A and B are shown apart, each in its own frame.
Chain A
Amino acid sequence: MSRASDRKRPLVSAAPADPSRRQLLTAGLVAGAGAALTGLAVRPAVAAGDPAITEIQDWNRYLGDGVDARPYGTPSPFESKVVRRNVAWLTADPVSSVNFTPLHELDGIITPNGLCFERHHAGIAEVDPAMHRLMISGLVDKPLVFTMADLKRFPRENRVYFLECAANSGMEWRGAQLNGCQFTHGMVHCVVYTGVRLRLLLEEAGVKANGKWLLAEGADSSAMTRSIPMEKALDDCMVAFAMNGEALRPEQGYPLRLVVPGWEGNMWVKWLRRLEVGDMAWHHREETSKYTDLLANGKARRFTWVMDVKSVITSPSPQAPVTHGRGPLVISGLAWSGNGTISRVDVTTDGGRNWKTARLDGPSLPKALHRFYLDIDWDGSELLLQSRAIDADGFVQPTKDELRAARGENSIYHNNGIQTWYVKADGVVENVEVS
């Protein structure tokens, strides 16, 4: 090691950016893929000894960063590819668009704050919390204004919920299109929210007897609005100011967002500034022109709020190919339902002829992501992987063809059909549909 005499810190964090190192890493991956291609198990050449062991590594010799170097920690540079991704052709402009959670790189049930997919209609509003107000108006005994400080004096609750965009998997209605669960299923995330039950705020203002609907409105320049039935508002909705223990991220509605458990993400109004109580729905843009489900007969469903039971295998998947040979293979995925908990997930490796019940691991919380695993002994042959979730209410995830038979191909929203991944003998994975 040439830097043995260098007493300064040897730029450990810059190591992955070093071109020669990157080439080495890439070469390693290619070699791994090549070995898998021939069906051989990949094992390090041990004759001369594994250099990871026999050579002293930089991090084993030199000092690393001190505690003042990273006041807000970020992932290892080796994880730099684990990021949200945009699909440029999908929308007119990234300011009114969506990006996707890298589900294939994640495990467990909690999504890190910086990886939660973004969907906003007028860019990220940068709201000064000292200037943020929440107003409750309309059919109430007393219209009220709360500051953020006021809201933090109500009793708080912590709840883990998934948030799924109604358009998640919407690009797959006409057939397999995108190679990666990040793109086919990445408009979902799951975090623990801290906030106040909406019921407490509404009771503070006093909802009049004819107050049957609630209009939630955001403070961004799209002034996003959705109508929410009072029954849901009083049931389990929250106003949240924290996610995963820290303040909401700006792109998730800092300083305040609505939480509408199990219902489509568009209703979880970000930068929440106003709740108006009314006696009927408002039929605003996001519940008429958008977020209504056009059927083949030309008619359209409205108020399709609940997110149906759904699952997807996150690994292996097109962005997470199998890089080892035959032998133990962990099949891992996510399942969720807007109705409550997931009671079971079945996995098939032969395109749906035979199914095995997967193992749910980690917390099983209502309206939250569930993690499942099926640990198999892969013989190196081609696989057609699918997962099928069943929720506690008995709803079974349908096939895509069943959904198309019921709705046609122009619904855009609420595609909860079973996803198929084609794992080839070389470990490469492709998005396909099957007979």
Chain B
Amino acid sequence: MSKFLSLVAVAGLALVMPAAAASAGAEDVPLPNHGVFHLGRGATQEEVAAWDIDVRPDGTGLPEGRGTAAEGEAVFAEACAFCHGDFGEGRDRWPVLAGGQDSLKAERPVKTIGSYWPYLSTVYDYVRRAMPFGDARSLSDDDVYAITAYLLYLNDVVTDETFELSKENFTSVRLPNEENFFMDDRDEEAHNAREGEPCMTDCKKGPVEITARARVLDVTPDGGDDEEGVGAVD
């Protein structure tokens, strides 16, 4: 074998054995047998369980546990009410959690767990992963069941403070607005169904009039007024 060819062979070997060639002294470490690149390592059951906190509408992911609305009221007062108010009414601009029933067609809808959210599992999942704000993952699984039960009570989905929510009865509870969600169909809106080239000349009759101005109520930062605008980003 010529010197040139043996160099090519060595280079080829390095290409097909990237893991072994990556660092000095790594020759003895066996390649994992998974995948194409054999990169990463197998996750242990304990590791998967430590991060597997998600819950789905069919109840998949719910932990063992239980809690009553009355128990939840105490936890809520301690951990949640500072932002959300004692009855989920929301303080300042923090989210309103209760009420708003029959407001979705109103000029100012109030979108709450009771009026808008389709699935109760979302409440359990979100409280468990992200609440209380600034102290995530600090609540016990039972506390999250209790808070979820209390939120059902605040929204009149259950009316008895002794109601106990558990892994066993969780999926029997349905939220009232579940049926009012549907898949994205923006492509079928009238302005998207229009055919042909858009108009380029004489597209409007007569001079164009200004119909609305931001200056009427200037809510732009440093705009001069201290007014607040309407709307939300999330």
Contact = CB atoms under 8 A, between A and B. Distances in A.
Binding partners A and B: yes
Interface of A: 85-93, 95-98, 119, 121-122, 135-137, 141-147, 150-151, 153-154, 165, 167, 170-180, 183, 187, 200, 203-206, 215, 217, 221-223, 225, 273-274, 276, 278, 280-285, 288-292, 294, 296-306, 308, 318, 346, 350-355, 384, 388, 390, 395-396, 398-399, 402-403, 405-407, 410, 412, 414, 422, 430-435
Interface string B57-90: 1100000000000000000000000010000000
Interface of B: 18, 22, 34-37, 39-43, 47-48, 51-58, 83, 92-94, 104-105, 109, 111, 113, 116-119, 121-122, 125-126, 129-130, 133-134, 136, 180-186, 189-192, 194, 198-204, 208-215, 217-221, 223, 228-234
A299 B180 contact: yes
A278 B208 contact: no
Contacts of A89: 219, 228-229
Given A86-B221, A283-B57, A301-B182, A353 B230 contact: no
B214 A90 contact: no
Nearest to A178: B220
A351 B191 contact: no
Nearest to A287: B122
Query: What are the 3 tightest A-B residue pairs by CB atom distance, in nearest-first order?
Result: A351-B208, A204-B35, A89-B228
Given A91-B233, A121-B130, A433-B210, A150 B54 contact: no
A83 to B, nearest CB: 12
Contacts of B56: 278, 280-283
Nearest to B18: A153
The interface centre, meaning the residue of A143, A278, A303, A306 with most chain B CB atoms within 10 A of its CB, is A143
Given A167-B232, A217-B54, A176 B212 contact: yes
A90 to B, nearest CB: 6
Nearest to A395: B192
24 contacts: A90-B232, A122-B130, A137-B52, A146-B39, A170-B232, A173-B231, A203-B36, A204-B34, A222-B136, A273-B51, A280-B56, A283-B56, A283-B119, A284-B54, A289-B111, A289-B117, A301-B183, A301-B185, A303-B184, A353-B201, A353-B203, A355-B200, A384-B208, A434-B208
B104 A294 contact: yes
A223 B129 contact: yes
Contacts, number: 289
B181 A137 contact: no
B2 to A, nearest CB: 31
Nearest to B52: A137
Given A308-B186, A384-B208, A433-B212, A215 B54 contact: yes
Contacts of B194: 396
A165 B83 CA distance: 25
Contacts of B189: 406-407
Contacts of A225: 54, 125, 129
